[in-house]
Amino acid sequence: MNNAEKSLNFIEHIIEDDLKSGFSRSDLRFRFPPEPNGYLHIGHASSICLNFGLGLRYDSPVNLRFDDTNPIKEEQEYVDAIKKDVEWLGYQWDNECYASDYFQQLYDWAVQLIKEGKAYVDSQASDEMAKQKGSPTEPGVNSPFRERSIEENLTLFKGMKNGEFEEGVHVLRAKIDMSSPNMLMRDPIMYRVLHKDHHRTKDEWCIYPLYDWTHGESDYIESISHSLCTLEFAPHRELYDWFLDQVREAPKLRPKQREFARRNLSHTVVSKRKLLQLVEKGVVSSWDDPRMPTISGLRRRGYTPESIRKFADTIGIAKRENVVDVSLLEFTVREHLNKIAPRVMAVLDPLKVVITNYPEGEEEWLTTENNPGDEAAGTRQIPFSRELWVERADFREEANRKYFRLKLGGEVRLKSGYIIKAESCTKNADGEVIEVQCTYDPKSKSGSGTEESMRKVKGTLHWVSAQHAINAEIRLYDRLFTDATPDAHKDRDFMEFINPESLEIRTGYLEPSLETAKIGLRYQFQRLGYFCVDPDSTENKLVFNRTVTLRDTWAKLDSGQ
């Protein structure tokens, strides 16, 4: 096996084998087929990256197909959100398709099946039909309506279409085999009556085709060569093929369904139905709440499309389901933001530091790099003055030799600034430190070239000049669920595992360069993590989301780096 082959996933192997056995490369065509009944989530990203990735690899068209056959749950809002998300992830579809565009063709094919004696109208109640279905070990029982005449079937089916019947009175079923070992082959329902307006076809139809009848035929209409879906559809493959066999006219291409494992992420749920519950019950503010595992939530949280694509690529395509730890997703975004995010300083839990030997009323502007790892990112100026904010956790009255932050009698360097020494502190009536008095070494300014500026002290702290600081609302997020697999418990509902402390709101004190920060921009708040400007920001108030913390911040600092 050479290297190129090694990197292929099993779906690509299937395609390579097809090409080797004579399938024409120019006939390759893929699709991503979401149902517009919710927003896309991180699980969908795997399917998007797989299908669009194949398009790029083989230079083949990829359709975006809305599987919109259930007007009860589908909405235009979801269509719009899905398009936005796929584009944001960086993919361009060849055609924007809708299963609803095929309703007439599907209907015509259904009529053809009736005429061929391969479909019939069943007029039993649904529980009656369920009883006749049998079990995996017992064959089913034929419906008393199974042998209806073709004429009667045609009349009734037309009546269903024309709105002559209430919901549930009749359904159209394929006439296959009530004793098939595959329960899905036991005369599956093709159509039901639904007096509901559809977001596209409005009131044009009051019968709607079911998934199995729609999906393969839509693939066929669009000449999709490889129809990739998740594993739960494996038992549907036989039916997918049966329906295709009824309508296909050779030599038109016969689509091929292949299955891969659904991707699950720890500490969350990846199911539109369950995510909708979180929105409807007010557990989160919206589909794009930054705690949601939706593409729109991750975008608002500060994730980059590159990091999501990288994540999908890293976890790859599997044959068996498993749960991927959310820390891997966090790792990929951290890695990307480390490269691209400008560094700034912000204090989230402020403690006042007064530099007693710095003249009152004076200020100076210090030059600092925007990204030490990227010279092209340039530099900016940050103000320094007598009164500063530092992080409360960065000061202790007393501490052992391993504590490299500020302690009485000890020195630290202020990032891009001076070396300061803590001389004394003031406490309130509760014994809490409310101010630390320090002195600074005027010759120690970073980058000034003096001997003192090169002097090594163990700790470097971030800080913000108090008089220049701007206030912002800072939203800190924790996992939405306390359990790694909230929806995998047999007798407990996933809603029982919601983390009541998944959102913490703070006021942050930010360096003034952030005053002009625009919605969506991402920054590293030094030593604190990566943050992104939230769309809730207004002209008067900035709101930041913490995307992810920095890895091992304290461990690094305390080991003296």
Question: Using CB under 6 A as the criterion, which residues of the chain lie in contact with ligand ATP when the complex forms?
Answer: 33-35, 43-44, 46-47, 67, 229-230, 262-263, 270-273
Catalytic residue among 133, 196, 262, 421: 262
In contact, 238 and 208? CB cutoff 8 Å: no
d(CA 503, CA 191): 45
**Residue 292 Cβ, how far from Mg ion at the closest point, in Å?**
18
- Which tokens belong to 334? 């951290």
What's the one-letter identity of residue 457?
A: V
Minimum distance, C-beta of residue 228 to ligand ATP, in the bound complex (Å): 7
**DSSP calls for 152-201:** HHHHHHHHHHTT-S-TTS-EEEE---TT-SSGGGSS-EEEEE----BTTT
SS3 359: coil
Tokens 């202020």 -> residue: 414
User: Measured from the CB atom, is 9 or 271 closer to ligand ATP?
Assistant: 271
Q: Which does 407 bind (CB under 5 to 8 A by kind): ligand ATP, Mg ion, none?
A: none
* Shortest distance in whole angstroms from residue 70 CB to Mg ion: 9
For Mg ion, give the closer residue by CB, 79 or 156.
79
* Number of other CB atoms surrounding residue 11 within 10 Å: 19
Q: Which is nearer to ligand ATP, 180 or 277 (CB)?
A: 277
Burial 370-402 (b: 16+ CB within 10 A, else e): bbeeeeeeeebebbbbbbbbbbeebbbeeeeee
CB of 105 to ligand ATP, least distance (A): 21
With contact defined as beta carbons under 8 Å apart, do 464 and 345 qualify? yes
Q: Considering 16, 35, 369, 387, which one is annotated as catalytic?
A: 35
DSSP-derived secondary structure for 479-543: -SBSSSSTT--TTS-GGGGB-TTSEEEEEEEE-GGGGGPPTT-EEEETTTEEEEE-TT--SS-EE
Active site residue 262: yes
Residue 94 in tokens: 């060849």
- Tell me how crowded residue 326 is: count the other CB atoms within 10 A of its CB: 18
Tell me which of ligand ATP, Mg ion, none is bound by residue 180, counting a contact when its beta carbon lies within the kind-specific cut-off of 5 to 8 angstroms: none
**Residue 262 interacting entry, from ligand ATP, Mg ion, none, C-beta within 5 to 8 Å by type:** ligand ATP
Q: Which is nearer to Mg ion, 35 or 397 (CB)?
A: 35
- Provide CB contacts within 8 A for 462, sequence distance 6+: 345, 346, 347, 390, 391, 415, 525, 526, 527, 528
Report phi then psi at 464, rounded to 5: -145, 140
Minimum CB distance to ligand ATP smaller for 67 or for 391 = 67
Is 35 noted as a catalytic residue in this protein? yes
Q: Which is nearer to ligand ATP, 54 or 270 (CB)?
A: 270
Q: What is the DSSP letter of 448?
A: S
Residue 274 binds Mg ion, judged by CB under 5 A: no
Can you say whether the dihedral through the CA atoms of 336, 337, 342, 343 is positive or negative?
negative
Using CB distances below 5 to 8 A depending on partner kind, what does residue 43 bind out of ligand ATP, Mg ion, none? ligand ATP
- Contacts for 320 with CB less than 8 Å, ≥ 6 apart: 261
Q: Which of 175, 192, 272, 291 is catalytic?
A: 272
Cα 438 to the chain's mean position, in Å?
Answer: 46
Query: Partners of 426 in the beta sheet?
Result: 435
Smallest CA-to-CA distance from 24 within 251, 260, 258, 257 is with 251
Q: How far is the CB of 229 from ligand ATP (least distance, A)?
A: 4
CB of 254 to Mg ion, least distance (A): 24
Asked if 165 contacts 155 with a C-beta cutoff of 8 angstroms, the reply is: no
45 vs 121 by CB, closer to ligand ATP: 45
Site for Mg ion in 159-178 (CB under 5 A): none
Q: Residue 230's binding partner, choosing from ligand ATP, Mg ion, none, with beta-carbon cut-off 5 to 8 A by kind?
A: ligand ATP
Binding mask 2-41 toward Mg ion (x if CB under 5 A, else -) reads: ---------------------------------x------
Q: Residue 263: which of ligand ATP, Mg ion, none does it interact with, CB under 5 to 8 A by kind? A: ligand ATP
Nearest approach in angstroms of CB 270 to ligand ATP is 5
Site for Mg ion in 34-73 (CB under 5 A): 35
Minimum CB distance to ligand ATP, residue 231 (Å): 9
Name the residue number minimizing CB distance to ligand ATP. Answer: 43
- Identify which of residues 198 and 405 has a Cβ nearer to Mg ion in the complex: 198
Q: From the list Mg ion, ligand ATP, none, which binds 229 (C-beta under 5 to 8 Å, kind-based)?
A: ligand ATP
74 binds, among Mg ion, ligand ATP, none (CB under 5 to 8 A by kind): none
The one of Mg ion, ligand ATP, none whose footprint includes residue 349, by CB under 5 to 8 A per kind, is none
Phi-psi region of 150 (alpha: psi -120 to 50; beta: other; left: phi over 0): alpha
Minimum distance, C-beta of residue 344 to Mg ion, in the bound complex (Å): 42
Query: For ligand ATP, which is the closer residue by CB, 85 or 534?
Result: 85
Q: Does the active-site annotation cover 272?
A: yes
Residues found near Mg ion in the complex (CB under 5 A):
35
Q: Which residues are catalytic?
A: 35, 262, 272
